[in-house]
Chain A
Amino acid sequence: MSLDICLKAVRLAEKFGAMQAECFFYSEDSTRAAIRKKELKRFEKRNDSGIAIRVVLNKSLGFYYTTNLNNIEDAVERAIKLAKAAIPDPNFISFPSKKPYRKVEGIYDKSFENLNEESVSNIIKDALMRDFDSRIKSINADLEIAVYEESIANSLGVEGDEISTFASFSVEMAAAEGDKYSGSSDFTSSRVFKELNIKEAMDNAHNLTLKGLDKKRVPSGSYPVIIDPVASLYLICITLNSALNADLVQRKRSFLSESLNQKIANDNITVIDDGTFSGGLGSSSFDGEGSPSQRNVLIEKGILKGFMYDSYTAAKEGKESTGNAVRNSFRSLPTISSRNLIFELGNRKSEDIISQIKTGIYLRSTYDTPNVITGEFSGMINEGFYVEDGKIKHSLLQAGIGVSLRTLLSNIKELSSDYRWIFNYKLPFILVENVSIAGQ
Chain B
Amino acid sequence: MDIDSVLDFGLKLGADFAEIRHVKSRDTSITFVDGNLRYFASNEDEGYSVRVYIKGAWGFASTSVGSYEQLKEAMNRAFKIAKSSSHLIKESYNLKDLKAYKAKVKTYIRKDFEEVSIEEKLNLVKSLDQSIRNYDSKIKSETVRYNENRDIVEIYNSIGTFVEKEEIYISANALAISFESGKRGRGYSAIGGTGGFEILEDFGVSELGIKSARKAIEQLSAKSVKAGTYTCIMDPILVGVFAHEGIGHPSEADGVVEKNSVLEGRLGEKIANDVVSIVDNPLLERCYGSYVYDDEGVAAKPRYIIKNGVLNEYLHNIETSSILGFSNNGAARADSYLNPPLVRMSNIYFEKGDASFDELIEDIELGIYAKGFEYGYVLPNNGQFTFKCESGYLIEKGEVTVPLRDLSLSGVILETLKNIDLVGKDLEIKSIGNCGKDGQWVRVGDGGPHLRVKGIVVGGVE
Contacts and interface: CB of A to CB of B under 8 A. Distances in A.
Nearest to A63: B41
Contacts of B57: 40, 43
Q: Which of B260, B377, B406, B410 has the most CB of A within 10 A?
A: B260
Contacts of A78: 42
Q: Which of B88, B257, B459 has the most CB of A within 10 A?
A: B88
A400 B64 CA distance: 45
Contact of B82 (A43, A49, A86, A438): A43
Contact of B41 (A82, A253, A373, A436): A82
B69 interface: no
A182 B384 CA distance: 12
Nearest to A215: B382
Contacts of B259: 37, 137-138
Contact of B85 (A121, A174, A379): A121
B141 interface: yes
Interface string A194-237: 00000000000000000000000000000000000000000000
Interface string A18-55: 00000000000000011011011111111111100000
A253 to B, nearest CB: 6
Contact of A251 (B33, B339, B379, B459): B33
A85 B123 CA distance: 11
B44 A36 contact: no
A40 B85 contact: yes
A6 B63 CA distance: 21
Contact of B141 (A85, A252, A438): A252
Contact of A66 (B44, B58, B88): B44
Interface in B351-384: 377, 379-382, 384
A88 B44 CA distance: 24
Interface in A107-127: 117-118, 121, 124-125
Given A66-B44, A86-B40, A400-B459, A43 B63 contact: no
Contacts, number: 174
Interface string B119-152: 1001000100000000000001100000000000
Contact of A85 (B38, B88, B119, B338): B119
B126 A87 contact: yes
B401 to A, nearest CB: 23
B64 A333 contact: no
Nearest to A220: B227
B427 to A, nearest CB: 31
Given A36-B258, A67-B45, A251-B34, A125 B88 contact: yes
B58 A378 contact: no
Contacts of B184: 373-374
B45 A331 contact: yes
B88 A61 contact: no
Contacts of B33: 251
B90 to A, nearest CB: 6
A368 interface: yes
A64 interface: yes
Given A121-B85, A378-B461, A43 B60 contact: yes
B122 A367 contact: no
A402 interface: yes
A374 B377 CA distance: 21
Contacts of B88: 39-40, 121, 124-125
Main secondary structure of the interface of A (DSSP, over half): strand
B269 to A, nearest CB: 17
A interface, size bucket:
35 or more
Contacts of A65: 41, 43-45
A161 to B, nearest CB: 20
Contacts of A368: 386
A253 B177 contact: yes
Contacts of B44: 65-68
Interface string B37-54: 111111111110000000
Given A62-B40, A374-B184, A39 B89 contact: yes
Interface of A: 33-34, 36-37, 39-50, 60-69, 78, 82, 85-91, 117-118, 121, 124-125, 137-138, 140, 174, 181-183, 251-253, 331, 333, 367-368, 373-374, 376, 378-380, 382, 398, 400, 402, 436, 438
30 contacts: A37-B257, A37-B258, A40-B85, A43-B84, A44-B62, A44-B81, A44-B339, A45-B61, A47-B64, A48-B62, A48-B64, A50-B64, A64-B43, A65-B41, A65-B43, A66-B45, A67-B46, A67-B64, A82-B40, A85-B40, A85-B122, A86-B37, A117-B80, A121-B85, A125-B88, A174-B381, A378-B406, A378-B460, A379-B408, A402-B459
Interface of B: 33-34, 36-47, 57-65, 74, 77-78, 80-82, 84-85, 88-91, 118-119, 122, 126, 140-141, 177, 179, 184, 186, 227, 254, 257-260, 338-340, 377, 379-382, 384, 386, 406, 408, 410, 438, 459-462
Given A85-B40, A251-B141, 19 more contacts: A36-B254, A41-B258, A43-B60, A43-B85, A45-B62, A45-B81, A47-B74, A48-B47, A63-B39, A66-B43, A82-B42, A87-B36, A87-B122, A89-B36, A118-B84, A140-B260, A331-B45, A367-B377, A373-B184
Per CB-CB distance, the 6 closest pairs between chain A and chain B, nearest first, are A63-B41, A67-B64, A183-B381, A44-B60, A85-B118, A45-B61
